[in-house]
Every structure is written in C-alpha cells, then in structure tokens.
Amino acid sequence: MRLLPLVVTVVFTVAVAYYIYIPLPDAIQEQWKLMLLDAGFRTAMHLASLKHWLGIDHYITSIRGSTSVFEGTMKGFMSSESGSAVIPGVKVSDIEFVGIPVRLYEPPAGGEGHLRRGLMYFHGGGWALGSGKKGSYDANNRIVSDELNTVVVSVEYRLYPEVHFPVPYLDCLAAAKHFLSPEVLAKYAIDPERVAVAGDSAGGNLAAAVAQEISLDESMSVKFSVQALIYPVLQALDFNTPSYIQNQHIPVLHRTLMVRFWLQYLGADLSLLPQLMVNNHSASHHSTITPELRSRVDWTTLLAQKYKKNHKPVTAEKGSNEDVKVPGLLDVRASPLLAGPEVLAKCPRAYVITCEYDVLRDDGLMYTRRLQDAGVTVTNDHIEDGFHGSFSFTTWPMEFDVGKRMFRGYLNWLQNNL
C-alpha cells in the first residue's frame, strides 16, 4: 500500500506529460513553453465545448471568459512586480469613432509645431476573440506610439457570435474613414502622408480588405500610405495549401480551428467543416468560381518551389457534394486575395510577415506575390522559426524570443517606411 501514492503520482505525471507533449519541428525554439501554452488553450476549448454541449454558455463566450481570467491574473501579477506596460507620457483614451469603440494612444512628444505618424490597428482572434485593449496588443501599441511618435488607434470591432460578416469589416472601414478625415488628422496633428493600417491574423484580413476599399474610394482625399499585415488570413477557397497541410497540427492555430473560424465569420453551418477540409465547397463544378478567380489563389503558380515541395493541389470533382454553399465565400471584403489585379495595383506599399510554421503562411506569400505582380512594393519578412500567434507573444509569461524579434522587425519597418 505504501507504493500506491508513488504509483498514482507517476501515472498522473505521465498522463499530464502525454497531454502536454506534441511533436514540433526542430526549428521552433522554446518548445516546452509553446507546448504548455497550447495545452492551456486546448483545455480552455475543451471546457468551452463541454459547457456549450450542456447549454451553460456559448463556446466562444466561454473561451473569452477563460482568457479574461488568465489575463486578469497576469495583469495583477505584473502590476505587483512593476512589470506594467504603462509608458510614461503616452496618453491612452477609450473613445468612439462614429459609434465604434477605439483605444487612442497619443505619443508624449505632442503635436505642437510638427506632425506625427498615424496608425490604425485591427487585432486578431478569428473574428471572435481578442481585444486591442488587453495584453500584448495594448503593450505593443504603447511602444509604437512612444518610439515612433505615432498616434495609434486600436479598433474594438464587433465579434462573433454577436455578429458575423460583413459587420466586423464594416466597423473597421467606418473607423478607418473617420480616422483618415482631414478634420480628425488635424485634431491629432497627424501627417496625412504618413498614415498606416495594420493587423495580425484576422486583423490582417481586415486591414488588407479595408486598405483595398480605401484605395478605390475616390471620395477619400487621404488614403493609407502603407499597410502592415502580420500573418494575415486572406482566402477561404483552399484549405489544402502546402502550409495548411504541413502545419495542420502546429500550435496555436490548428487547421480545423481556422476552418471553424471561417464558418463562424461567414455565418455558415458549422456542420460543413468536414466538407471544407477536403475543398468540397470549391469543387470544380461550381460555376461561380471562375478560372480567373481560381488563378488568384493558385498556389501551384504563386508559391516558390521551396514552399510547394511535393504537395499536390486538392480539387474536389463534380459529384463530391452538390449542396456545400458558404455565404460570402467569393466576397473580396472577406477574402482580399480574390481581388483583381486592377484593385491590387492601387493598394499602398506593404509589409507582410509570414511564418514558416503557420497554416496561413501561403495566404501571405501568395498575397505578396500578387501585390508585387500588380506593381506594389512589398517587403515580405518570412520568419523561418515563426509560428502563428508569435507576434503577440512578447510579454511575460507568454514571452518568446521569436515574438520579440518579429515585433522589432515590424517597428523597424514602420520607422523606415512610414
């Protein structure tokens, strides 16, 4: 009987290690930290699924609750350790732009006698999670404001399940138009020739879509001068690109989760997920998906060979499934990669971060290629040891060296190009 506690301890330890451990590519650094982070996120999702199944709470709102508790705990700890992200002199205000909540960061240098940069930021989170007011988003925007003498506006666009496409996009577009108005730029002493739009993941999707629309709007006297897209999600036609296959089990954005995010955003039936995983929603018999549209997301021609490797395209044939219909699938406001070359040619200069170990890698690489083909100057910062979400992992305890390098690269590019 004296061995029982030891046996129980060993079994429990092995079980926990088995749950936490996942095989990761050798190039990814700080692997156990990433495994622990992924295990925590998976646990939150499992609990959220259980609560949703029991009718206690919605899946997404439950995950929000779990992350809020964690962020609150970390904020309290950081404050007690004087690790707060507060930067003296940066003025932070929670206001509204045409009814849309935004957080405004004004640099300490002030605007008297000289104009400042401007930047509008859209946070990521699969159009369902996240807030620009929390965690690394808030910390990083404070740093941008301080170091680059920039007025930063972080937009709190509405999220699923309260809304779906096109509401988040329309929120961001309305906020962007207000920000770019001569009156608002003058109020905050912003140089109209030095205004950027940026975002990560789903926020990168929104930034790209908004940049396209603004560039086409002849009524706008001021347009964005640059765009910074951090591992953006840009298309929903092909969930079998080389990066979707290669990285389908890499934290923190698994392939099935990204497909689910798309279904939620577009207001589609979540039971369609298995169909989208095998590209039945974009089967060859769909007449609305023209050869021209397919060419705009054709990774076999848009990707370099080192990314294509030996992967083969997956195109469902007629008869695979006749009833897979996804609303908004071909809307360029949802899928900016589908925009025509005449639209891309008018877009601002771009900075695109892609990560080798990210299902969205190829979305960013294809958009880089298509923008360049349209004559737009693009800097593609490809992070060989990067994974999805790493740009946000810059503050303790979710602090990764790759995240700090990525954020510094973003800062440097803005410094030199905005």
Instruction: Just list the catalytic residues.
Output: 201, 358, 388
Q: Which of 259, 253, 229, 228 is nearest to 387 (CA)?
A: 253
- d(CA 206, CA 389) in angstroms, rounded, equals 16
Instruction: Please give the single-letter amino acid code of residue 156.
Output: E
Please answer whether residues 401 and 29 qualify as being in contact, where contact means their C-beta atoms are separated by less than 8 angstroms. yes
Cβ density class 250-280: b for 16+ within 10 Å, e for less: bbbbbbbebbbbbbbbbbbeeebeebbbebb
Residues 6+ positions from 111 with CB-CB distance below 8 Å: 188, 189, 190
CB-based burial label for 70 (10 Å; 0-12, 13-18, 19+): middle
Written as six digits, the tokens of 378 are 């693009």
For residue 184 the two structure tokens come to 């608002």
d(CA 227, CA 199): 9
Whether 371 and 347 have beta carbons less than 8 Å apart is answered as yes
Classified as helix, coil or strand, 379 is: strand
Query: Alpha-carbon distance 277 to 248, whole Å?
Result: 11
Sign of CA pseudo-dihedral 167, 172, 178, 182? negative
Contact 185, 222 (CB under 8 A): yes
Query: What token pair was written down for 7?
Result: 């046996």
- Is residue 153 classed as helix, strand or coil in its secondary structure? strand
For residue 58, give the DSSP letter. -
Q: Find out whether 164 and 128 touch, Cβ atoms under 8 Å.
A: no
